[in-house]
Amino acid sequence: MPLANIATPPAKETVTTWDFNHQQDHLEIVQAAAKIGITLPLYPIYPVMDHDQWTRLHQQFHTDMNKALGITNASDLQAPSRQAMDTNWFWRNYQEHKAARLKLGI
């Protein structure tokens, strides 16, 4: 899956597709890390059932990923609500995915 699918906020009618693509990118990162001997847990962030749980699990994955890959310019990606996930949030999330993919060569 191309990283661009998660770079911008989805339209209301495509939120579920964005959530799925985002989960798939986490999966690709986990799989690529495993190929070089790095084990990352894949947290269940799709389908989104409860925002509070989602935001904790999503942040935990990014914390684990950033630590394992030595990504130091990480952001706090927890959001109090889906509405608080503004363009800046999506950009910061994208940047972390991009940095991980770059380090992993995917």
Residue-by-residue pLDDT tens, the chain, 106 positions: 567 689 889 999 999 999 999 999 999 999 999 999 999 999 999 999 999 999 999 999 999 999 999 999 999 999 999 999 999 999 999 999 999 999 999 9
- Please give the model's pTM, rounded to 2 decimal places: 0.94
pLDDT at position 66: 98
pLDDT at position 31: 97
Task: Report which of 46, 43, 38 is spatially closest to residue 71, judged by C-alpha positions.
Answer: 38
pLDDT at position 1: 59
pLDDT in tens, 53-65: 999 999 999 999 9
Enumerate long-range contacts of 24-30, CB under 8 Å, 24 or more apart: 25/1, 25/97, 26/61, 28/1, 28/101, 28/106, 29/65, 29/97, 29/100, 29/101, 29/104, 29/106
pLDDT in tens, 42-55: 999 999 999 999 99
